[in-house]
Amino acid sequence: MTIFKHEVRSGLTGCVLWSAVIGGLMALCVSMYPSMSGSMDDFSAMFANMGDFSAAFGLDKLEFGSIMGFYGTECGNILGLGGAFYAALPAVRRELPHHFAPLRFAENWEDAVDYKPFEYLEVSEEGFALWQKAVQTHWFVTGSASFPYFEYYSHLKRLRGIEARRPYAETYMRLPEEVRLIGGL
């Protein structure tokens, strides 16, 4: 929380200005809804008929023709892109130079061959229980017959925890060139 307060204080003007710009873009996007609502029904039908892919990402339930579906997709994209651009702005005055967070790769059963854990983060007992409850609401866990995702990732968290001498842990890999970088605080 201390870092958050420091960041808010040091870049408040830029943040307010950028928020106004993003808010204006979102208002512009929502104002286009009436002219696009008729053509979005075909778009919804197309995404709903993509089989397991649609079910896995909830696209079969999302109605792009409704104001909330339109707002959720279009304005969500604007927020994501706008936040990324704001983070990289060199013109925003700050104590530290502008930068991106280091790229981290989460462990994935499909990419296990070349995965080399670099960073171990402890997962608390409460966090693990919450993760188990949350992940069981996803289609790939409850509906997939091709791979036992829930068992695999539950046991993997325990295995990584044993390696880290903790009850549970998550691991992340970094790019080989980032592993050799020496950084300071």
Q: How far apart are CA 26 and CA 151, in angstroms?
A: 41
Amino acid letter for position 128: F
Amino acid letter for position 175: L
pLDDT of residue 50: 67
- Provide the token pair at 91: 């013109």
Q: Hey, which residues does 168 pair with through a beta bridge?
A: 123
CA-closest candidate to residue 46, choices 28, 27, 64, 21? 64
pTM over 0.75: no
pLDDT tens for each residue of the chain, 185 residues long: 677 777 677 777 777 877 788 788 778 877 877 777 666 666 666 666 666 766 776 666 667 677 777 777 777 777 777 777 776 666 556 666 666 667 788 888 877 788 889 899 999 999 999 999 999 888 888 888 888 889 999 999 999 999 999 999 999 998 877 776 555 55
DSSP strands (E only) in 4-140: 104-106, 119-123
- Taking each helix axis from N to C end, the angle separating 12-31 and 2-10, rounded to the nearest 10 degrees, works out to 80
pLDDT of residue 128: 94
Quote the DSSP letter at residue 137.
Answer: T
pLDDT of residue 183: 57
